[in-house]
Amino acid sequence: MDKQDNNKPQTPPQTESNTNKKNVSNHLAIAIISLFFFVPFGIPALIYAVKVNNLLLRNDTDAAKKASKKAKMWSLIAIGTWAVLWLGILALIVFVGLSTKVEQKLATSFVTDVSNGRTSEAYSQFSSALKDAQDQPTFENSFSNLNLNKSCKLDVSGLKTSSSTDLGNTTEVSGTVKCDDKTFNTVVFIYNVDGKLVEYGIAQ
């Protein structure tokens, strides 16, 4: 019996060093993936991931653990940065879309008001600077000459946001006003960030 036991292959004992090595992950997979999300932070993630195995080969477990943590940290930062950037872009797209829809509704309402004789409601859209440049009686006289009627509707063809030193951030609504008996092909409304009209023009 003793001889048979001695012939059995002996399993080397697991040392504490070997156990610690197995517990250290290099996070190489997630580091490689992070490169596709945000390269500037994915590069250090990959560098630290590669260092882990090299440090373990030199039995420097403590340094390998530190490199492992940094590889994971930079990988998560890369992925997180990508998520934040895309969420910001998406929020900006939604904000601009909602903003331009507001100005489009204001311009449509303006044309509807003046076409139905509600010039006071249309004039209320004027910014203070535009009111200084054109008082309400002058505004009403200019539109009476256009002979707009209830059939006139605004057909929006363009929305454009821009910025200038004089007006700041503005949204331009352009299109045509179509009536039963006439068409105004050059129609422009420019609104500021407060939704107030700063410039406008309606001409055939």
Query: Residue 32 — pLDDT band, cuts 50, 70, 90?
Result: very high
Torsional class of 10: left (φ above 0), alpha (ψ -120 to 50), beta (otherwise): beta
Query: Per-residue b/e over 102-115, b at no fewer than 16 CB within 10 Å?
Result: ebbebbbebbbbbb
The yes-or-no verdict on residue 98 having pLDDT over 80 is: no
The yes-or-no verdict on residue 86 having pLDDT over 80 is: yes
Q: Count CB neighbours of 46 within 10 A.
A: 21
The yes-or-no verdict on residue 169 having pLDDT over 80 is: yes
Helix (H, G, I), strand (E, B) or coil at 198: strand
Spatial separation of the C-alpha atoms in residues 201 and 188, rounded to whole Å: 5
Spatial separation of the C-alpha atoms in residues 32 and 75, rounded to whole Å: 8
Q: Count CB neighbours of 176 within 10 A.
A: 16
pLDDT at res. 161: 80
pLDDT at res. 12: 54
State mean pLDDT over 55-62: 90
Read off the tokens for 126: 């004027």
* Model confidence, pTM: 0.54
Helix (H, G, I), strand (E, B) or coil at 54: helix
pLDDT at res. 142: 87
Rounded mean pLDDT of the chain? 86
Query: Residue 75 — pLDDT band, cuts 50, 70, 90?
Result: very high
State mean pLDDT over 98-112: 83
